[in-house]
Structure 1
Amino acid sequence: MAAPLVKQDATQARLDALDLPTGGWSTPARQDALARVQNMGLPHARDEYWKYTKPATLVDATAPKAAVYETDEAPMFGDMDRLKIVFVDGVFDADASDDLSLEGITIDRLSDAKDIHWAKDLYGALEVKGQDPVERPLAALNTAFASDGVLIHATKTPSKPVNLIYKHQSDSSDAILHHVVKVDSGASLTVLENGPAAARFNKCLEVDIADGGAFHHVRTQGRDHERRAATHMFARLGTESTFKSFTMTVNGVLTRNECVIELTGDDAVAHIAGACMGDGDFHHDDTVFITHDAVNCESRQVFKKVLRNGATGVFQGKILVKPDAQKTDGYQISQSLLLDEDSQFLAKPELEIYADDVACSHGSTSGAIDEDALFYLQSRGIPHSIAQDLLVLSFLAEAVDEIEDEALQEEILTRAEAWLSRHRKD
């Protein structure tokens, strides 16, 4: 069914402002994605899946302005031995990046990949699958128009993680990046992401994990104040494979992180977690869809949001258990901590189960600081603002604990503490 006229006009204006990359092995996937975008239309405020988040600034023909902020804060993950891949306003920066050679993996630029490439069968494939039963037109737009990105094939377990670093240097930049990751059987890969990327950022990450493979992902979004971002992560898990992802978000005007995971092999494990802290003009949306389509699989969704001064948090999470997915263990929790009466948390948790031997649960809560706990800490001589920060960090801990690497856990908590310190009201 074609999109309504109001969506068609907005969609066409956006498409007219973009250049479709041509030539090479990705052309068929791009043309298919373009046709799908034209048919679906880009998101509109009346769309059910966007009822809590206004998509206008994500789809406007011209990217909104976003000031470029300088900071003396130490680089994220700076103390870790990692392979750095840098993008500036959506363009690969070879001079700032490390040598892309690393034993156990191969890395190619999307724009440089030759006609015969392993990614030909994967680019856009998981994104297409993720359009059913819910349309995700911004992801299709990404597949069609992504101008850069990396293709990572893990054949073994490399000695260090890959760090995708995004830098923002133009106040009106519009970046569209698409990454594809393939993890072979028995291999394990860790991908770190950080940085503001652009005034408006549309990113897609497709991850295909073979039997016995493992993919770990830690991402930070901040500390730029005017970021508008739509990110999409699509993952397919084989037998006894593992997918674990954690995202920390601070600041930004509008952020929508979508994650679509399909467990297709028995005994697979998928954990997706996130924490955000917002102050004032801040809107943060986590939208997750996990499909269990195999036996004895486990999934966890753990999301925590700390909101103040009118900030808004959104969580839409669904677990779909298909008829043959017996012995499914699905867990979902979304919670918000509202530090004043002006902020709000909007949640839509869902379970759809067609198997009878499952253990699935979901819950969502929203509340204020525990006054008894706050009083207890203050009675021990801890100032009010610091006591409140300690309770906030304790609240976030369940989500941060989803990160397996303790050093990464510590760095995330340190950054969270620094944000609280900057926003502290003494």
Structure 2
Amino acid sequence: MALAQRKQDATDARLTAVTLPEGPAWLTRARKAALARVAVMGLPARRDEYWRFTDPATLTDGAAIPADVLAVEDDPEFSATDALRVVFVDGVFDAEASDDLTAAGVTITRLAEARDLTWAADLLGMLEERGQQPVERPLAALTTATATDGLLIHVTGQAERAIHLSYDRRVTDADVALHHVVKLDAGASVTLLESGAGAARFASNMEVDVAKGAAFHHVRAQGRDHGRRMNTHTFARIGAEAVFKSFTLSVNGALTRNDCIMEIVGDDATAHVSGACVGDGDAFHHDDTVFITHDAVGCESRQVFKKVLRNGAVGVFQGKILVKHGAQKTDGYQISQSLLLDGDSQFLAKPELEIYADDVACSHGSTSGAIDEDALFYLRSRGVSEKTATTLLTLSFLAEALQEIADESLASDLRDRLAGWLDRHQH
């Protein structure tokens, strides 16, 4: 009882300090409803089941922990991709650094400038609220309530260019909350890219509604900032014959928690979520938490996560596949693996299957191990240095996750980034 009271007191104290951003009536209603959800659920604590491996304290405390200021530099990720670039600096849209928010097949509106958008009013906060069952996600509701900006993206056809969201940070204690909503009409398609440090503490929601036959491709690179604390939530509703694919590369960061909640509601749909993570040092903690619900016939889902950890770094994976009654012909695949480059690092995994249909093919697996000494010896015996051999074997380990990226040019870009990071961090 005392623990419950302390949790309630911490929630009350945090919510007392919240001032809802201004906006049109429909947005204010969505924010107030989200704040009410937080008040009922309470902010997460270490004793909560889905936070048992990750301490949320620095994500829920009243102020961000200052981090070193980064040198101002262009984001190196996705530089070879033709994309409409949208820049946020310390959570504020930077018009001068951004391209014109006009592209064929896509309508883009800033959340801070939203007015009477019927489609957004029907969707914003709705997928987040649906994603609160059966697992409560109060930090997502808090972001819905407090986000001051973001993008409302309506994809009506085949987007000719990718959309690249770049998150830059210039001050030591930036505390940012962004909320994006993406709606794809039937048969539409778009590629959405994200990169950058974001803030000393960075929270973001993305709600994605993928209609029949539409295709959403998402590639995200998190890194550059050792002191960053980040929690992100991606909520997706996937219609019949639609495709949703999301990949995240994470390097650096003090604490990163990425939640992905996908609901497959149409027959013959495809939903893939994957990630590659590399962490160095005992200040590094990275948590991927995934929940996929199959509620339609003949659908496929894949979860592929690989983590490379050294010098006391901690990696977490929590993944669940829920197959509802009637979701026959489901094909669900889940794999989480870690490569521990020393004896001090940890990988904590919690794979789950919950199946209520009898004609399904679902599997999950989780492994943790060290560099293959035989493979290392083989490369060394052929004149490859130990440093280069370790990098090659590490990239080989991460390859399955990177193969989930549909665009080979994007995959190549991230492979080069990983190779550079590994080369700099080998001793």
Q: Same fold (TM over 0.5)?
A: yes
Q: Are positions 1:152 and 2:153 aligned together?
A: yes
Which residue of structure 2 aligns with residue 46 of structure 1?
47
1:364-401 per-position Cα deviation (integer Å, ceiling 9, x unaligned): 00000000000000000001111011000000000000
Match among 280, 283, 286 for residue 284 of structure 1: 286
Secondary structure, aligned partner of 1:4: helix
> How far did residue 223 of structure 1 move?
1.2
1:271-294 per-position Cα deviation (integer Å, ceiling 9, x unaligned): 000000000010000000000000
Q: Tell me which amino acid in the other structure corresponds to 2:399.
A: A
| 1:2-13 paired onto structure 2 within 5 Å | 4-13=4-13
Which residue of structure 2 aligns with residue 342 of structure 1?
344
What is the rounded CA distance, in whole Å, between the counterparts of 2:205 and 2:74 in structure 1? 27
Secondary structure, aligned partner of 1:27: helix
1:276-317 per-position Cα deviation (integer Å, ceiling 9, x unaligned): 000001000000000000000000000000000000000000
Comparing 289-298 and 10-19, the one that deviates more: 10-19
What is the rounded CA distance, in whole Å, between the counterparts of 2:13 and 2:77 in structure 1? 37
| 1:184-223 paired onto structure 2 within 5 Å | 184-223=185-224
What is the rounded CA distance, in whole Å, between the counterparts of 1:99 and 1:357 in structure 2? 49
> How far did residue 79 of structure 1 move?
1.9
Q: Are positions 1:226 and 2:231 aligned together?
A: no
What is the rounded CA distance, in whole Å, between the counterparts of 2:297 and 2:213 in structure 1? 15
Contact 1:250–1:277 (CA under 8 A) maintained in structure 2:
yes
TM-score by length of 1: 0.98
Paired residues, what number? 425
> How far did residue 74 of structure 1 move?
6.0
Contact 1:17–1:62 (CA under 8 A) maintained in structure 2:
no
Q: Are positions 1:357 and 2:359 aligned together?
A: yes
Which residue of structure 2 aligns with residue 327 of structure 1?
329
> How far did residue 71 of structure 1 move?
6.9
Which residue of structure 1 aligns with residue 86 of structure 2?
85
What is the rounded CA distance, in whole Å, between the counterparts of 1:272 and 1:74 in structure 2? 24
List gaps (5 residues or longer) in structure 2: none
> How far did residue 97 of structure 1 move?
0.7
> How far did residue 111 of structure 1 move?
1.3
> How far did residue 16 of structure 1 move?
3.1
Comparing 19-28 and 86-95, the one that deviates more: 19-28
| Paired-residue identity, % | 66
Contact 2:265–2:295 (CA under 8 A) maintained in structure 1:
yes
Q: Are positions 1:123 and 2:112 aligned together?
A: no
TM-score by length of 2: 0.98
What is the rounded CA distance, in whole Å, between the counterparts of 2:64 and 2:180 in structure 1? 22
Which residue of structure 1 aligns with residue 18 of structure 2?
18
Secondary structure, aligned partner of 2:358: coil
Contact 1:322–1:354 (CA under 8 A) maintained in structure 2:
yes
| 1:205-284 paired onto structure 2 within 5 Å | 205-280=206-281, 281-284=283-286
Secondary structure, aligned partner of 2:112: coil
1:63-122 per-position Cα deviation (integer Å, ceiling 9, x unaligned): 111112227676211122110011011111111110001110000001111134320000
Contact 2:77–2:414 (CA under 8 A) maintained in structure 1:
no
Contact 1:191–1:217 (CA under 8 A) maintained in structure 2:
yes
What is the rounded CA distance, in whole Å, between the counterparts of 2:72 and 2:97 in structure 1? 18
Aligned pair in 2 of structure 1 residues 269, 50: CA closer, same or farther (>3 Å)? same
Secondary structure, aligned partner of 2:218: strand
Secondary structure, aligned partner of 2:33: helix
What is the rounded CA distance, in whole Å, between the counterparts of 2:309 and 2:14 in structure 1? 32
Contact 1:210–1:239 (CA under 8 A) maintained in structure 2:
yes
Which residue of structure 2 aligns with residue 164 of structure 1?
165
Q: CA RMSD in A?
A: 1.4
Match among 397, 400, 407 for residue 399 of structure 2: 397
Match among 303, 306, 309 for residue 304 of structure 1: 306
Secondary structure, aligned partner of 2:363: strand
What is the rounded CA distance, in whole Å, between the counterparts of 1:247 and 1:81 in structure 2? 19
What is the rounded CA distance, in whole Å, between the counterparts of 1:302 and 1:34 in structure 2? 33
1:193-218 per-position Cα deviation (integer Å, ceiling 9, x unaligned): 00011000110000000000000000
Aligned pair in 2 of structure 1 residues 88, 72: CA closer, same or farther (>3 Å)? closer
Secondary structure, aligned partner of 1:26: helix
Contact 2:309–2:345 (CA under 8 A) maintained in structure 1:
yes
Aligned pair in 2 of structure 1 residues 157, 366: CA closer, same or farther (>3 Å)? same
